[in-house]
Structure 1
Amino acid sequence: MTPGDTPPIVTVEGLVQIYSIEGQDVAALSGVILTVQRGEIVALVGPSGAGKSTLLNVLAGLMSPSAGRVRLAGHELSAKNAAVLDRARGSDFAVLLQDVTRNLLPYLSVRQNVELGWPKSVRAGIDIDGILDIVDIAPDLRPQPVRAISGAARQLTAIAATLATNPSVLLADEPTSSLAGAEVRAVTDAILRANRELGTTVIAVTHDLDVATALDARIITIRDGRIRMDARAGNTLVSIREDGSLPLPDDVLGQFPAGTQVTVRPGEDADTFVVRRAGGDDHR
């Protein structure tokens, strides 16, 4: 099987997530469609309340979808019970929580925290110190209890602890939210090295576009529970929704603001169409 034939490691089809707030149903996610290829780094970006953390929680199996299909690392999440999902989170995929203290035991050392998740029979050719080297935790910090090290070092320890379970997919919720400056760069560099050296697929939630850029990520913009834009390799992709609507990128909306009347016709080949402002020039 060639790389181009490899099936996606994440598939989301028609995902809907509904909350009930004071007797009213509120859609946090509305018909999300997403695929992620093995080895990608994907950043879910959007304002507070956009639905990006809800999407991550569904992918992590921490929340059951109201409707739709979610498949991650070989698991059909909507069909799994809690015990099966707990085992999957300890092996096939890992979750880096926004509050990293929930990923760690503060009274244990950095090294001991990483050892807790170590599948000795799985990782050949790399040991605990190899994982700690990947995230760049200094040797003198490794015997220290987690409660005695800096916030940035705790974040790197939490990343190492999740990587030690040998996950195919790392799901990270705001991995740099409590950090600044060089500390942010240390975390994004650690995630990049994990992706490149271990082949770990990464899906990270962030409100900071600079973090997504530092991760060299495919950037998925979420607004109002829908994927608004999908930017990768210099191209911005959008998906035609089931109702036939097309979410336009912000730069295009600058040319075609809401309410603009346009005509749409097929282009010269099967892969294009032409949008023309009524009485204006063609746009392809």
Structure 2
Amino acid sequence: MIHCDGLVKIYKIADLEVVALQGLDLQVESGELMAIIGNSGSGKSTLLNMLGGLDRPSAGQLTVDGKNLLTMSEKDVVRYKRETVGFVWQNNGRNLIPYLTALENVELPMLLQGKRKRERALELLEAVGLSHRRNNKLNQLSGGEQQRAAIAIALANHPKLLLADEPTGSVDTKMANQILDLFRQLNREMGLTVVIVTHDPMLAKKVDRVVAIRDGKTSSEMLRRKSYEQELIHSEEGVEELEGESHVEYAVLDQAGRLQIPTNYLESIGADRSNKVQVILEDGKIVLLPPK
């Protein structure tokens, strides 16, 4: 579904150039449910904006559902945003029009395509558990209900890819869990590809793959040891999963064989104050040692 190869994004502010992405590589399979994490300024929001057609790459390759977002015309970008991708923002003011009801908000994207499908809108509100609030406006909905309405809006035009920017950032833990369970349900029942940008470590327990971005590159991936459904079964049977063992973390090698070593790892071997480490091959393992 998503193919990023050597993706670069440079912003120019007056005479200053800011490199937000510097050679990022990423593959996302169709029907995958995954999360992207990273500190502020790591480049994760920049990547999400480019996947959503809201910004253009400066260099590299970016294809989504076979469409080249680097060379796409403005007209095709508009069509892409209407038909291929759905977006859920953290700020509900960007998701919902306050003077419309929940039902009218969900209908709006379909009206923009020259269609009016109240039945489809009602089905989506039912799918996100909000049919009983269909005639309520923004100020009559809780934060969690607003986010559920936003998800229904994002699904209005049958997108193949759903992008969510910090979707649990403005709700409490209980509602966050319900929203993440809803993403899993939509992913499983609709075959929807879901990419979530977050800083919430709890989310890692709900998705199958977590990609960490640092300094504009993919630095590591965490893959689930066994499916979330299997973990639920074990939980019901009284078998507790040890904290931190649901996923295994891998460093990501780029095409030139480079990888990012976590700072705390380097500090632990006394290599934090130098830009050099010894690399030796020992008993089939690659070992990093501080400089002598």
Query: Quick check: TM above 0.5?
Result: yes
Aligned residues of 2:87 and 2:162 also touching (Cα < 8 A):
yes
Which amino acid in the other structure matches residue 247 of structure 1? Q
**2:249 counterpart residue number:** 236
Root-mean-square deviation over aligned CA pairs: 2.6
Q: Distance in 2 between matches of 1:48 and 1:57?
A: 15
Report the Cα offset of residue 237 of structure 1. 3.1
Of 87, 92, 103, which aligns to 1:95? 87
**1:261 counterpart residue number:** 278
Secondary structure in structure 2 of the residue aligned to 1:236: strand
Report the Cα offset of residue 38 of structure 1. 0.6
Q: Distance in 1 between matches of 2:167 and 2:139?
A: 18
Q: Please, which runs of 5 or more residues in structure 2 have no aligned partner?
A: 225-246
**1:154 counterpart residue number:** 146
Of 160, 172, 176, which aligns to 2:164? 172
* TM-score, with length taken from structure 1: 0.82
Of 240, 252, 276, which aligns to 2:287? 276
Q: Please, which runs of 5 or more residues in structure 1 have no aligned partner?
A: 1-8, 268-273, 280-284
* TM-score, with length taken from structure 2: 0.80
Secondary structure in structure 2 of the residue aligned to 1:216: coil
Which amino acid in the other structure matches residue 124 of structure 2? I
The 3 A distance-change label for structure 1 pair 100 and 84 is farther
Instruction: Trace 1:89-128 onto structure 2 (pairs within 5 A).
Output: 89-118=81-110, 127-128=120-121
Q: Distance in 1 between matches of 2:20 and 2:257?
A: 21
Report the Cα offset of residue 250 of structure 1. 7.0
Aligned residues of 2:4 and 2:25 also touching (Cα < 8 A):
yes
**1:248 counterpart residue number:** 261
Question: Does residue 195 in structure 1 map to residue 206 in structure 2?
Answer: no
Q: Distance in 2 between matches of 1:166 and 1:59?
A: 17
Of 215, 227, 236, which aligns to 1:224? 215
Aligned residues of 2:63 and 2:69 also touching (Cα < 8 A):
yes
Report the Cα offset of residue 58 of structure 1. 1.1
Aligned residues with identical type, % of pairs: 35
Secondary structure in structure 2 of the residue aligned to 1:90: helix
**2:124 counterpart residue number:** 131
The 3 A distance-change label for structure 1 pair 264 and 252 is farther
The 3 A distance-change label for structure 1 pair 32 and 257 is farther
**1:76 counterpart residue number:** 68
Aligned residues of 2:219 and 2:259 also touching (Cα < 8 A):
no
Q: Distance in 1 between matches of 2:288 and 2:66?
A: 45
Aligned residues of 1:107 and 1:147 also touching (Cα < 8 A):
no
Secondary structure in structure 2 of the residue aligned to 1:78: coil
Of 34, 40, 44, which aligns to 2:36? 44
Report the Cα offset of residue 265 of structure 1. 7.1
Report the Cα offset of residue 204 of structure 1. 0.9
Report the Cα offset of residue 33 of structure 1. 0.5
Report the Cα offset of residue 253 of structure 1. 4.9
Report the Cα offset of residue 127 of structure 1. 3.8
**1:6 counterpart residue number:** none
The 3 A distance-change label for structure 1 pair 263 and 103 is same
Aligned residues of 1:42 and 1:218 also touching (Cα < 8 A):
yes
Report the Cα offset of residue 115 of structure 1. 2.1
Which amino acid in the other structure matches residue 136 of structure 1? G
Aligned residues of 1:229 and 1:249 also touching (Cα < 8 A):
no
Report the Cα offset of residue 235 of structure 1. 3.5
The 3 A distance-change label for structure 1 pair 106 and 36 is same
What is the CA deviation profile of residues 175-227 of structure 1, one whole-angstrom value per residue up to 9, with x for unaligned ones?
111111212122112211111111110111101111232x3241011111111
